[in-house]
Amino acid sequence: MRFLTAPTRFLFFTGKGGVGKTSIACAAALQLAEAGRRVLLVSTDPASNVGQVFSQSIGNTITAVTSVAGLDALEINPEQAAAAYRERIIGPVRGLLPKKEIESITEQLSGSCTTEIASFNEFTGLLADPSLVADYDQVVFDTAPTGHTIRLLKLPGDWTGFLDAGKGDASCLGPLSGLEKQRALYAGAVQTLADPSVTSLILVARAQASSLAEIARTADELSTTGIKPRGVVINGVLRAGTAGADSLAAAVRKREQAAIAGMPASLAAIGRDIIELKPENMVGLPALRSLLDATTATPPKAVPPSLGDLPGSLDTLIDELAADGHGLIMCMGKGGVGKTTIAAAIATRLVALGHPVHLTTTDPAGHLESTLGEAAASAGLTVSRVDPAQAVADYRSHVMNTKGKLLDDAGRAVLAEDLMSPCTEEVAVFTQFSRLVNQARSGFVVMDTAPTGHTLLLMDAAGSYHREVIRNMPSGADYTTPMMRLQNPGYTKILLVTLPETTPVLEAGVLEDDLERAGIRPWAWVINQSLAATKTSSVLLRYRAGQESGPIDAVRKRAGRLAIVPLLDREPIGRTGLSQVAP
């Protein structure tokens, strides 16, 4: 593999969710360690599954991978990082300040801004503090899905500029406590990220037009920060000769080759590696060793999947949703499982049934418009995007025109400075999210959510707002918060979208548990891109279909309602393509 030829000290693997970043990062770390290097594998993904790949618990401290000499791993857990960050700030004043003041500070430090800053502190420390990684030849980063990664990689520049401008006394003072002390650390992180002799950024994609377009956008956005990609990896490609007489495999192979041939020109000059689709799921050392092997072993004779009667199709769930006449429908799950496709299919079918629908996405790296194609112009369908940059601009304008209207020039200048805080994005995005939630009182709002970590941060913000409302409401007052609407099963229907593979199902289960702790019960599960639900005759695809039995059975035990969407022979784009998803 080109990206492992003369590897730099730091290796970053990034790309759209679900393209195999974790598998490739783990396989690269394993290969380097088995070549005699000392390697640290770090996940900055809020929905990390590095521990599942190596079949052991990792967590928020550097842990030796027991099965691989020379390999340590670390999962930067946002919740644990935030808890430690809070304690560093509150601990010294606990017992010195009144209880109510401590509660107020704790609430300030309970939002998603704190979570992001805390994770960011750990991330930049590994890049800029030589003592933390002095024992390692290589540090391999399994980064979060693209939108989160861009935010994470830009934060060093954002915070450095914010501090340089002297704006450390913003409204999010609690989360920003102590940032001034980190100025040199952040500047060092920026320098390390932009130095090609030290850091390599590897863009990972599937052989899909949307996935390749996403890494092209990533490359363009990161280039503005001085970070240049070193390589492109296209993962999970069907090799020539795999299809045989099977029409599904032939269609997939043709689609993949067309996507590679038509990849954005900006990627053409970057060195490229292609990894073939392997028979096994990437869990355990033998599977990881095979991933970067240029040859693909012929799978054993395929055994037809024994799944009994497959669950119903997506259109059955949509008919049940349509009977309510209105409501919030949220498609949630790990990046890359097809939430956008499922959300678009639900929205277009509801419109076809005569219901007005507002289809929106909270995913910074979403591709809703390209999925809808000509269906975006359907009568009765409104399409929008919660864009962080636009949300911040709208929020700043609103605050300056309302609260700022009552201030003198000096007060307006202070307020404008306050609104330049990076934490303003958290408030602005949540404001737009809340408006969308409320719209479902009178019609359907279908929401394509961001990958799991982002979505949980939005839920966290909803919870913080809910607690603040309760604290300030007079006794007996009537009120409804966004969190109360999310917890109402008659108002909000959450569909957990996953793939028929072990890791995505485990991660969807973790998400379900997190939601239930917040008093939110998922309404249904959708298993997307199932080979078991097709009639493929390809030996490789039938073998992989046989491995779906366990994950599907695991979902059956959890789900009150379940639909399976087969892998399609044509990409589900536009009105015709989406109609295959919910026929």
- The 10 Å Cβ neighbour count of residue 178 is 13
405 is known as an active-site residue: no
16 is known as an active-site residue: no
SS3 call for 213:
helix
18 is known as an active-site residue: yes
What is the distance of C-alpha 77 from the center of its chain?
14
Neighbouring residues of 19: CB distance < 8 A, sequence distance ≥ 6? 204, 205, 206, 211, 235, 236, 336
* Amino acid (one-letter) located at 280: E
Angle between helices 99-108 and 452-472 (to 10 degrees): 150
Catalytic residue among 14, 15, 17, 18: 18
Catalytic residue among 23, 48, 124, 210: 23
Catalytic residue among 16, 17, 45, 455: 45
490 is known as an active-site residue: no
User: Can you name the residues that pair with 528 across neighbouring β-strands?
Assistant: none
480 is known as an active-site residue: no
Catalytic residue among 15, 16, 17, 21: 21
Nearest to 269 by CA among 237, 238, 230: 230
20 is known as an active-site residue: yes
CA-CA distance, 166 to 164, in Å (whole number)? 5
CA-CA distance, 564 to 315, in Å (whole number)? 10
Dihedral of the alpha carbons of 317, 321, 323, 324, in degrees to the nearest 10: 160
CA-CA distance, 227 to 225, in Å (whole number)? 6
Q: What is the DSSP code (8-state) at residue 375?
A: G
Neighbouring residues of 67: CB distance < 8 A, sequence distance ≥ 6? 54, 55, 56, 285
Residues in the chain, overall count? 583
Catalytic residue among 503, 530, 534, 536: 503
503 is known as an active-site residue: yes
Would you call 150 exposed, middle or buried from its count of C-beta atoms within 10 A (0-12, 13-18, 19+)? buried
Q: Which helix (H) or strand (E) holds 315?
A: helix 314-322
Catalytic residue among 14, 16, 17, 22: 22
C-alpha R_g of the chain: 24
Cα–Cα separations (whole angstroms), residue 158 to 413, 422, 423, 521: 20, 7, 11, 37
Catalytic residues: 18, 20-23, 45, 503
